[in-house]
Amino acid sequence: MTAPYTAAARLDALLGDPWDPGNPYGFAAGTARDADGAYPAAFAARLAGTGFPLAYLPPALGGDPRPLDDTLLLVRVAARRDAAVMPATLLSCSAVLTVLAAGTPEQAKTAAEWVREGRTVAFALSEEETGSDILAGRCRLDPTAGGYALTGRKWLVGRGATADAAVVVARTAPRGPAAFTAVLLGPDQLAAAVRRPAQPVTGMRGIDFADLVFDHVPVPETAVLGRAGGGLAAAMRAQQLVRLLSTAACLATADTALRTALRFTRARRTGGVPVAETGHGARELALAAAELMAADLCSLTAARHAHLAPGTFGLCSNVVKRAATRLTASAIARARSLLGARGVLAHGPGAVVDKAQRDNAVVESIDTSPFGVLRAVAAALPGYAGPLREPPGPGDHALGPLLAYGDPLPDLDPAALDLGARPRDPVLLGFAAHADEIEARLAARGAERAAVLVRHVRTALERTTAAAAGLDRGGPAGALGQLDLADRLCLLHPAATAALAWWAHPERGLYGEEPGGAGWLTAVLAVLLAHAEGRAPRQAAPDVLPAGPALARLDDARLLFTALPVPLADGPGPKESETPAEPDEGDETT
């Protein structure tokens, strides 16, 4: 049987040991480029030579499509070295996925030809004055005798300063979701736009986020993607996939930060004991490990969901974005704190983790803001109250393929993505249907604590959805209540995912455990419930502690911090001489 995710292992081997200071695709090179604000052009060219940045294109358009879970891991092994390379990992995917979701076959062929030639197709949706309120967008597409005239300004367009073409979403009617139309601008039309200088950003430095200004730019009628008024729907379908793919950057930066902190704390001693083995060090590493595991499983499962049931993917696409950004940000903050005073130095491990933290923070607000994500989840939440209280039969959910990580998947169909909010999420419904069985199976294996936590997750889901259904939505208090409940669901959904993942893999241990081992599951459920209930995660430390040694075993085996083994090219990291044997005076923060 072929091991899953071998392509990611091959790509990492090709890129070499990231700890080697002379490796142009390593951590030292990434932090140096970051300091200069330079785009990783040579790194991007190396990735282009592998062909994987076109993995989202169907074969008919010259792509070599891969399942999205495989693609996510390919992006992770590249972006863990330097997240600024993200635009080169899936070339122009936001724009081209919009074309695939709504455009004609000829438009799709044209966009695919551009990206195969190495051209950049930007995606222009946001506007500075309206922010996340997309329905308030002012950029206009006015009808003319020969087509349209495009007028307005698009803000923070990724690769906007250097793009060769662009998909632009602009207003064609006074109000409502059907008031927007998407157009595909070729090089000739985009040449008529004024490009404002790229604005400096705190993370992913080197990526140009520029403004595009249009002043009655002529747009032919043939440039319209789909029908007039359907632009926002097309963009929102594409954004479901883009939100998922952006989580690769979250997980990549968390892997780098946590691996750096783990190696630092295992080599560095305080009071004669490695920092990683002190009470504080062990607890923080374990909590960070559990947060990363939760985000990892949520992301992998969501990737498979998009292939298997695109019509039910809407809720999941928002949940995975919120969960991955929140959990990995917490894990990276813990990793940085473990470096103590070295966490603020602009060289060595401090520089690596600082870059990872800033790059990670960028992901939270691109490709849908936190407010936009939570608002979408809140709209769907009340509909699950009844189905979770009285779930349909177990046979209603195709959970086997969903959780068969690394197995083949049907082709991705962006046009089949649904924007509705009907309660059809297979993870939530599947967990409700199987929770009793999972609890009983855990107890039979002696994992009583994990069984108890599964019961707590089910109760919390029922209470959260019931509260959403009964909430008075009028006024500011009701609106805040909706968002708070949505945020809670974004933590309980990954908990349900983790329980199902354990249930689906009795013959295969995850995160390096023996088959059926539930230590990782106990840790993940405990930390997610603590976050969801508003408790300090450190209160869950007794349940979470096994996650720390699991993480150390993965690093010792040179494996990516993911559920199934993905070998890495990592060497031993910094020499021990670079990490003093005893803390310096005043360095007690470690």
Residues pairing with 220 in the sheet: 147
Q: Model-level pTM?
A: 0.94
Distance (Å, whole) CA 437 – CA 283: 31
* Token pair listed for 405: 């990580």
- pLDDT of 475 reads 66
pLDDT tens per residue across span 2-14: 678 999 999 999 9
- pLDDT of 184 reads 98
- pLDDT of 585 reads 30
Distance (Å, whole) CA 242 – CA 206: 20
Question: Which among 125-134, 189-198, 317-326, 580-589 has the top mean pLDDT?
Answer: 317-326
- pLDDT of 580 reads 37
Distance (Å, whole) CA 110 – CA 496: 42
Residue 587 — very low, low, confident or very high, per pLDDT cuts 50/70/90? very low
CA distances from 536 to 210, 460, 486, 515 (A): 40, 17, 19, 31
CA distances from 142 to 170, 179, 225, 550 (A): 9, 12, 15, 59
Residues pairing with 170 in the sheet: 181
pLDDT tens per residue across span 297-356: 999 999 999 999 999 999 999 999 999 999 999 999 999 999 999 999 999 999 999 999
* Token pair listed for 394: 């177990």
Q: What is the dihedral of CA 523, 525, 528, 529, to 10 degrees?
A: -120
- pLDDT of 472 reads 77
Q: What is the mean pLDDT of residues 57-63?
A: 89
Closest CA to 332 of 357, 298, 297: 357
CATH number attached to the domain at 235-385+424-556:
1.20.140.10
Q: Are strands 165-171 and 121-124 parallel, antiparallel or unpaired?
A: parallel
- pLDDT of 338 reads 97
- pLDDT of 379 reads 93
The amino acid occupying position 533 is E
Q: Are strands 140-144 and 147-158 parallel, antiparallel or unpaired?
A: antiparallel
- pLDDT of 353 reads 98
Q: Is 50 exceeded by the pLDDT of residue 553?
A: yes
CA distances from 422 to 242, 391, 413 (A): 21, 15, 20
CA distances from 539 to 339, 534, 543 (A): 22, 11, 9
Distance (Å, whole) CA 446 – CA 452: 12
CA distances from 145 to 142, 229, 262, 353 (A): 10, 19, 64, 56
Closest CA to 429 of 462, 470, 467: 462
- pLDDT of 313 reads 96
Distance (Å, whole) CA 399 – CA 159: 39
Closest CA to 510 of 563, 449, 473: 563
Q: Is 90 exceeded by the pLDDT of residue 583?
A: no
Q: Is 70 exceeded by the pLDDT of residue 586?
A: no
What is the percent of the chain where pLDDT is above 90?
A: 81
pLDDT tens per residue across span 216-259: 999 999 999 999 999 999 999 999 999 999 999 999 999 999 99
Distance (Å, whole) CA 568 – CA 15: 10
Parse the chain into domains and list their residue ranges: 235-385+424-556
Q: Rounded mean pLDDT of the chain? A: 92
Contact 257, 335 (CB under 8 A): yes
Closest CA to 211 of 132, 127, 136, 137: 127
Q: Are strands 273-274 and 165-171 parallel, antiparallel or unpaired?
A: unpaired
- pLDDT of 200 reads 86
Residue 572 — very low, low, confident or very high, per pLDDT cuts 50/70/90? confident
Residue 176 — very low, low, confident or very high, per pLDDT cuts 50/70/90? confident
pLDDT tens per residue across span 423-474: 999 999 999 999 999 999 999 999 999 999 999 999 999 999 999 999 877 7
Q: Is 90 exceeded by the pLDDT of residue 403?
A: yes
Spell out the alpha helix ranges (H) of 194-313. Answer: 231-267, 279-308
- pLDDT of 577 reads 36
Which run of H or of E encompasses 457? helix 448-470
What is the percent of the chain where pLDDT is above 70?
A: 95
